[in-house]
Structure 1
Amino acid sequence: MSTVTGTSGEDRSDYTREESRQIRRRSLRLLGSLVTPLKMQLVLAGIVLVISTVLRVAGPALVGWGIANALPAVQKEADWMPTIVVVIIFLISAIGGAALIGWYAVVVARLTQAVMLDLRKRIFLHTQKLSLEFHESYTSGRIISRQTSDLDTIRELLDGGLNELVSGLLYGGFTLVALILLDWQSGLVLAAMGVPLFFLMRWFYLRSQVVYRESRVVSAKVIVKFVETMTGVRAVKAFRKEPANDREFGGLASDYRDINMRSIRLFGTFEPAMMALASFALAAVLLWGGLRVVSGALELGFLLSAVLYVRNFFAPMQEVAFFLNSYQSATAALEKVSGVLEESPTVPDPAKPVDLREASGHLSFDDVTFGYSETKIILPDFRLDIPAGQTIALVGTTGAGKSTLAKLVARFYDPTKGAVTLDGVDLRELHPKDLRRAIVMVTQEAYLFSGTVADNIALGKPDATMDEIRAAARAVGADGFIQKLPDGYDTDVNKRGGRVSAGQRQLISFARAFLADPAVLILDEATASLDIPSERQIQEALGTLLADRTAIIIAHRLSTVAIADRVLVMEHGRIIEDDTPDALIAGTGKFAQLHRAWRESLV
């Protein structure tokens, strides 16, 4: 049964524990697949970071050794050589560490950009491959959120947050080891302070995990509301929805502010607590070390080194906290992105496709059952045979199953049971290229892409010459208005065809379909946007252009039905009448009633 779920890409914050584990595993698989091709660069970054960290950690020990040994040599023996050596080594380590950190930043930046390029392309390519079912259930605003704000959040994690975590943990670990080697008693004091530090970090992690997941949910809702409002701005203005939209968007924006305030309060608690722990550790080391300096058990220079190491240990812990900030937000974003990438097409390409280079256009529905959900069956046990070259018109009330039938022919959906065949080949086994070349569908929404009029007409045949493009436009009666555009066929239609009217967009889409020269042409309410003169032009063109191809015409305007060889009247997913237009008009059935009502409406 074909169902619309959208669960893996759903924006939710109420996951069960098992769902959360599955989502984390899914996200880690995605992250692993992104970084696996970059192993050598990762190794290089790791080596550079380790060496730079060792050089940076050596500083306090050199300072302590200089004070404890080099300065006494100057005071007692006027020997400056130890001091000079210490200063030179200190400068080398400082400059070397800084240079390596700079190199590390460049390597990490390259890694980040490589990962982001891969991920951005994956999302775009994958969402294109997903079936129409996914796009009809997954709002455009959420898709845009995955490609924009979510990717930016992941980039921030890789570019800055991950760097802060790795360098912070390495620097903190090396600092602790250096302190233990220098003065194990001060090292034990610092290690003891690690216990409350661990619980503080864990508390912050768990609380921020909830906050940032909720933040991503609310952020996505804000983006969705904004995109849908701007996309449907004509309807918004037509129905005076501005005040209601203002209230709804204001509420979402307030929710987003409140979530961000919760995050700020978390940091407002965490950072002072971190500073307090650092102060206690520093005071303890200074007190205990001072007592030992007085007793002669510890050199003053090494006490200074211990103090510097304690201070340096807590400084990167702030960086780790900043990483947790980025990590929570990026984890939530990665969950959403991995959810989209885990979606599988409900209309998959065949494993062993059958080639059909030249299709004649013979269509057949063999015991087809289809529903958009398990409880909503649209076509029950449907049978239909359409000989090659025949033009049929589908007529019926809204919801009768006409558009569903057309979507099955175009293979936007697959039947739950039975098969739809073209020239005896199941559409599910047909090579995708042959399928798209053989069957073209023109819908009521004549979408034009950014570019020229000629580019849009040539969409189905990119290698078409200008003569072929003009011939297709003339065939559907579009050449006249195109010539009057500012730049003719080179006119940029802008977003959603801003330079042409709805009827003109439809004529361009007709020219696009006719240039593609399919064996089967589906017109799903394709003349709904045309005025009467334009519709007559299309009907005249259709009479010639559909002569040698199979055509399925879905129209509420019965004037469009006149050119059909057969008229099928549908009701509740079944064909209740099937005959020529004249025969049905002469009868007493449903089509005759619809035709009489239509003629009376014209009068």
Structure 2
Amino acid sequence: LKERARLQGKIAEKTSKLRRLNWAREQLLPHLPRDAFDSMALVMGLLMIGTLLKGIGIFIQDVLIGSAVEKSVRGVREACFDHCLSLDYQTLSQDGTAPLMARFTNDINVMSNGLKLMGGKVVREPLKAITCVVMAFWVNWQLTLLSLLFVPIFAAVFYRYGKALKTASHRMMESMSRIYETLEESFHAVKVIIAFNGTIRQKTKFRNENREYYHKAMQVVRVDSLTNPTTELLGLAAVSIALLPGAYLVLRSTREIWDIRLTTEVMDVARLSLLYAFLAGTIDPIRKLSSVYSRLKRASAATDRIFELIDRVPQVTAPELPQQIERHHRSIEFHNVSFRYDGQVVEAPEALSKVNLLVEAGEVLALVGGNGSGKTTLVHMLPRLFDPTEGSVRIDGIDVREVNPIELRKQIGIVTQEPLLFNDTVFENIQFGRLDATPEEVHAAARQALVTEFVEQFPDGFETLVGERGGRLSGGQRQRVTLARAILRDPAILILDEATSAIDASSEDKIHEVLQEFVCDRTVLMITHSMPPGVLKLVTRVAVMDNGRIIATGRHEDLLQSCPIYRQAYYARIHVNTDAA
């Protein structure tokens, strides 16, 4: 009776299929061409339409995915840049320029490629594989289940390869950062390289870095190249573990192996072939996914490097409840200030040690000392480029750490030894001192800094591009532009960090002439190795530093008598000038 009921059910199923086929034949056949050529033309036309629709779909998909990815990458790049500029000077300078550039270019491009893959093949290929597995379950779920026993093996292999690939990719990107560093160093110092016949040395250095990158890249290639053959081998094994029992069932016309029922009815060759087709159909998507997986691991390594930068916590932070600070009018006080750079050996002397210094408003103080004495580190505490590890820095009695850094820096102007100009016009470089300044104010600052003297000789005047790092201007011209920038800012506190040490005597005299007028009613901290006549006319007091400590303060004449280090620095300058004459 059971067999009879089963046969009746199959007859009913076949009858239903036959009715549907007859209906389709009646509806479609009258509209199909009778001629063989017309039939072929119809098939080719349908193929063309299908291909066109597929192409349109892929185009739309790629455009949508590309748009989403590029917007995401743009956001990451902007967030990374914004965060970098919010970091303090010490934290940001830990890596150097070239490694940061590598993260913004190479690493973000690798991450972008990974995101595009996630939106394309990572969605499409799993759907293909899942569809084939579902259809294989429909053909014979028992045999399909046997092939799925390889899923844990697939997962373990992918995990091992992925871990090795991510580590190798991370090393490769670090090697690329060193290539960026060599390039940046070589192009920036090209004059020195050519003048000292250092091209062979730099070429050797670049080749060594490039060779190192090649070895790191080959580690990635070797791991990546193993994924496809391993995936295909495991895929074939997964298909075979289902097909071999299936072949036994077909050839023996049975439904059981070792008393384990593997099919509800005796399988024929057609059904086994259908099962093979569906199981084999999962191999190609999995093979493609293995290739995608390796690229995603590279993208993951790049993403880790990018977000490691974004996750850095600045050491100089704004207070939650900042104090209001008026324009500086009383004093600047360094109270028991000590400082040690990150990474500095604990046994080594501190960069600053228990520094105490009081500077009255309107005073022009010269900080004198040799290299490494701590002069620059000390004055960098004022705009909070660094915060002291011990002690405090106060302006008009208020600790600078309790003031909003933006409001604090509005009161401070800096002119450094190396003039820092942007690849923009003379006008824009001066206006950088105060972005809301009017053209009239910019031109007034330029006249006061004697910038107008040489700018008027340029065909484009203030719209002249200064070039990268101001390379189209002379050293003295660059320094006058930076001085005009500081003048435009109208700071209550002016920091001059070796502002005239790298320029010729004529330019130095002109800058001192400008400063003679500009320093009036401002508190000025001048960093210098020596005391040229132009500086002596400006300063009201001198502080001598050595090994991170202030060892003497006083008037120039008094220190010549009482401080050997100061006397040595002063007379060394005189001897240099005498020899030059």
Q: TM-score, normalised by structure 2?
A: 0.83
In structure 1, the residue matched to 2:131 is 174
Q: 1:322 is matched with which residue?
A: 291
Between the aligned partners of 2:198 and 2:559, the Cα distance in structure 1 is 45
Secondary structure of 1:325's match? helix
User: 2: CA distance between counterparts of 1:267 and 1:340?
Assistant: 27
**Alignment pair present for 1:413 and 2:358:** no
Q: 2:178 maps to which residue?
A: 221
How many angstroms apart in 2 are the aligned matches of 1:393 and 1:262? 56
SS at match of 2:315: coil
Is 2:534 the counterpart of 1:572?
no
Change (3 A) 1:408 1:306: same
> 1:589 Cα shift?
4.4
User: Partners of 2:173 and 2:14 in 1: how far apart?
Assistant: 56
Change (3 A) 1:345 1:81: farther
**Compared CA separation, residues 524 and 99, structure 1 to 2 (3 A):** same
Q: Is this contact kept in 2: 1:389–1:550, CA < 8 A?
A: yes
1:152 to 109, 121, 125: 109
> In the alignment, is residue 129 of structure 1 matched against residue 86 of structure 2?
yes
Equivalent residues in 2 for 1:5-44, closer than 5 Å = none
Task: Give the Å deviation of 1:328.
Answer: 1.9
SS class of match (2:469): helix
Deviation, 1:324, is 2.0
With a CA cutoff of 8 Å and minimum separation of 6, indicate the structure with the bigger relative contact order: 1
- Give CA deviations for 1:48-85 in whole Å, capped at 9, x if unaligned: xxxxxxxxxxxxxxxxxxxx989x959x979736998x
Whether 2:335 is the aligned partner of 1:366: answer yes
Cα 1:93–1:200, aligned 2, differ >3 Å: closer, same or farther? farther
User: 2:530, 2:570 within 8 Å by CA — same for their partners in 1?
Assistant: no
Report the Cα distance in structure 2 between the residues aligned to 1:316 and 1:428, rounded to whole angstroms. 58
CA distance in 1, matches of 2:503, 2:413: 20
Residue 525 (structure 2) pairs with residue 552 (structure 1): yes
1:547-571 Cα distance to aligned partner (Å, 9 max, x none): 1100011122412431101111222
Alpha-carbon separation, structure 2, partners of 1:268 and 1:159: 21
What amino acid is aligned across from residue 561 of structure 1 in structure 2?
V
Q: Determine whether 1:581 maps to 2:556.
A: yes
Sort the Cα spacing of 1:106 and 1:293 in 2 relative to 1 into closer, same or farther, 3 A: farther
Q: Partners in 2 of 1:314 and 1:379 — Cα distance?
A: 66
Please tell me whether the aligned partners of residues 148 and 238 of structure 2 are also in contact (alpha carbons under 8 angstroms). Answer: no
Match of 1:592 among 564, 567, 572: 567
SS in 2 for 1:409: coil
The separation in 1 between residues aligned to 2:240 and 2:468, in whole angstroms, is 65
Superposed CA offset, 1:508-554 (max 9, x none): 00110011000000000011122111111111111111011000111
C-alpha contact 1:216 1:329 (8 A) present in aligned 2: no
Match of 1:138 in 2: 95
CA distance, structure 2, for counterparts of residue 78 and residue 599 of structure 1 = 112
Structure 1 residues 593-602 or 520-529, which shifts more? 593-602
Q: State the alpha-carbon separation in 2 of the partners of residues 414 and 263 from structure 1.
A: 42
1:118 matched to which residue of 2? 75
Change (3 A) 1:455 1:78: closer
AA in 2 matched with 1:367: N
* Cα offsets for 1:107-136 (capped at 9, x unmatched): 433332232122111110011111111233
Shift of 1:305: 3.6
TM-score (norm 1): 0.80
Equivalent residue for 2:498? Answer: 525
C-alpha distance in 2, partners of 1:569/1:576?
Answer: 6
Residue 512 (structure 1) aligned with residue 485 (structure 2): yes
State whether residues 361 and 549 of structure 1, in contact with CA within 8 Å, keep that contact through their aligned partners in structure 2.
Answer: no
Distance between the aligned counterparts of 2:24 and 2:64, measured in 1? 43
- Secondary structure of 2:280's counterpart equals helix
Distance 1:574 1:283 in 2: 79
Structure 1: unaligned runs, 5 residues or longer: 1-67
Q: Which amino acid aligns with 1:431?
A: N
Cα 1:579–1:169, aligned 2, differ >3 Å: closer, same or farther?
same
Residue 242 of structure 1 corresponds to 199
CA drift at 1:166: 3.8
Give the direction of change, closer, same or farther, for the CA distance of 1:450–1:286 in structure 2 (3 Å limit).
same
Please report how far the alpha carbon of residue 439 of structure 1 lies from its aligned counterpart in structure 2 after TM superposition: 1.1
In structure 1, how many angstroms separate the alpha carbons of the residues matched to 2:54 and 2:190? 56
Aligned length: 533
Pairing 1:452–2:425 present? yes
Name the residue aligned to 1:333.
302
The answer to whether 1:382 aligns with 2:351 is no
Report what 1:561 is aligned to. 535
Contact 2:224–2:291 (8 Å) recurs in 1: no
Aligned in 2, Cα 1:79/1:410: closer, same or farther, shift over 3 Å? closer
Contact preservation (8 Å) 1:150, 1:333: yes
Q: Could you tell me how far apart the structure 2 residues matched to 1:345 and 1:293 are?
A: 71
The question of whether the paired residues in 2 share the 8 Å contact of 1:175 and 1:309 is answered with: yes
**Letter paired with 1:443:** T
Partner-residue secondary structure (3-state), 1:80: helix
Residues 173 and 452 (structure 1 numbering): CA distance in 2 closer, same or farther, change over 3 Å?
A: same
Percent of paired sites with the same residue: 27
- Distance in 2, Cα, partners of 1:255 & 1:318: 31
What secondary structure is seen at the aligned counterpart in 2 of 1:504? helix
Write the mapping of 1:202-351 to structure 2, written as runs, cut at 5 A.
202-280=159-237, 295=253, 297-298=266-267, 302-351=271-320
Aligned to 1:355: 324
Instruction: Please say which structure displays the higher CA radius of gyration.
Output: 2
Q: Return the letter of the residue paired with 2:505.
A: I
SS of 1:137's equivalent? coil
- Matches of 2:392 and 2:465, distance apart in 1: 42
Q: 1:573 to 1:220 in 2, by over 3 A?
A: closer
CA RMSD in angstroms comes to: 3.4
| Residues 1:238 and 1:161: Cα distance change in structure 2 (over 3 Å) | farther
Q: Does 1:80 align with 2:25?
A: yes
Alpha-carbon distance in structure 2 between the residues aligned to 1:240 and 1:429: 52
Q: 1:385 to 1:77 in 2, by over 3 A?
A: closer
Match of 1:392, SS state, is: strand
Query: Do the aligned partners of residues 596 and 304 (structure 1) sit closer, same or farther apart at CA in structure 2, a change above 3 Å counting?
Result: same
Cα distance in 2 between the residues matched to 1:79 and 1:430: 83
2 CA distance for matches of 1:552 and 1:362? 12
SS for the counterpart of 1:408 is: coil
Question: Contact between 1:213 and 1:328, CA under 8 Å: does it hold in 2?
Answer: no
Deviations 1:239-263 (Å, cap 9, x if unpaired)? 3332222222212222222233333
For the structure 1 residues 179 and 533, does the alpha-carbon distance in structure 2 shift closer, same or farther, using more than 3 Å as the test?
A: same
Segments of structure 2 that go 5 or more residues without pairing to the other structure are: 1-12, 30-41, 254-264
Q: Is the 8 A contact 2:165 2:224 kept in 1?
A: no
Q: Tell whether 2:497 aligns with 1:497.
A: no
Q: Deviations over 1:321-349 (max 9, x none)?
A: 12221122112111211111121111111
Q: How far apart are residue 141 of structure 1 and its match?
A: 0.8
Q: Is the 8 A contact 1:176 1:313 kept in 2?
A: yes
Indicate conservation of the 8 Å contact 1:361/1:520, yes or no: no
Residue identity opposite 1:222 in structure 2? I
Q: Matched residues in 1 for 2:164 and 2:327: separation?
A: 62
Distance change (3 Å), C-alpha of 1:557 and 1:467 = farther
Q: CA deviation at 1:287?
A: 6.2
SS of the residue corresponding to residue 351 of structure 2 reads: strand
1:477 aligns with one of 450, 462, 469: 450
Match of 2:546, as an amino acid? E
